[in-house]
Amino acid sequence: MPKKSNLIKNFLFKFQHDKVFLLGSSQAFYYLLSLFPMLVIGLAIIPYLNIDPEQAVNFLKDTLPGDMADVFQNSFVNLINNPRGGLLAIGVVGALWSVSNAVHALISAINEAYEVEETRSIIFVRLIALVFAAGMMIAFIITMVFPVFGTLMLDFLKNFVDIDSTLSGVFQVLRWVFALLFISVFLFLLYRYAPNLNLPLSHVLPGTITVSILWQIITFGLYIYVKNFGAFSAIYGSVGVFTIIMIWFFLTGIILMVGAIINVMYHNNKHSEKIE
């Protein structure tokens, strides 16, 4: 068993060698590019839910700063009243393209961390990136919508369904539990199948558990921001929203690679123990 000082030293070396900060920045850029297509997807789905435009606008005003809500209000109402299937398709394609580029970069970085060459075909790797891009989009939605905007969603649902205090309390707990479970499953599959290695299942658990916890921590920070949105928006305005989301994307890119490095170190340690 390596000493703790050696583990920390090896981790810091891998962190610098694999250029984690640079990878986090590039992923944040692609995630941010996917934000608008994902917003388009959400808006394109809304007309099929038979939601009252006035209640939807109130939800928008509660979610965004007042000035941003006013800017998007007319377009938002127009989208609700006029279903557009083509817009939904464009949003899906745009979001998948952007996120898949980030995932493709992540796959290459994980292979480099394991020091293995990519021998799979370009088409196969791109298909893997697309599959995990779809999963990551769902993960982003579940991570951000359920824990961060869960209270706003609950208040919105109370306009249609009678929800008592007990059910409301259960929902408050389940939104975090459900998000944690989904993220854990997604990360486990990502770390297992992204690298060009046949890894034992136990070798991807350390990174999966670590990143699942870290992702919930940074998401909780985003939740605190949204909860105190009025005070922040009064100072920073609309720019504050995009700044905090960009930081969240950047930290997401970093911790995804941190999980991969932890798995690499665990895998190498187990491999060296077998040789000895």
The pLDDT tens digits along the chain (276 residues) read 556 667 888 888 888 888 888 888 888 888 888 877 776 776 666 666 666 666 666 665 655 554 555 655 666 666 666 666 666 778 788 888 888 988 998 998 899 889 899 899 999 999 999 999 988 888 877 776 665 555 555 555 556 556 555 655 566 667 677 778 888 999 999 999 999 998 888 999 999 999 999 988 887 777 677 666 555 555 555 566 677 778 888 888 899 999 999 999 999 888 776 655
Residues with Cβ within 8 Å of 217's Cβ and at least 6 positions away in sequence, in order, are none
State how far the Cα of 187 lies from the Cα of 192, in Å rounded to an integer. Answer: 8
E strand or H helix at 112: helix 85-114
Q: Which residue has the tokens 């824990």?
A: 147
- Output the CA–CA distances (angstroms, integers) from residue 146 to 101, 103, 177, in the order listed: 25, 23, 10
Residues with Cβ within 8 Å of 193's Cβ and at least 6 positions away in sequence, in order, are 128
What would the 3-class secondary structure string for 144-163 be? HHHHHCHHHHHHHHCCCCCC
In this prediction the pTM is 0.75
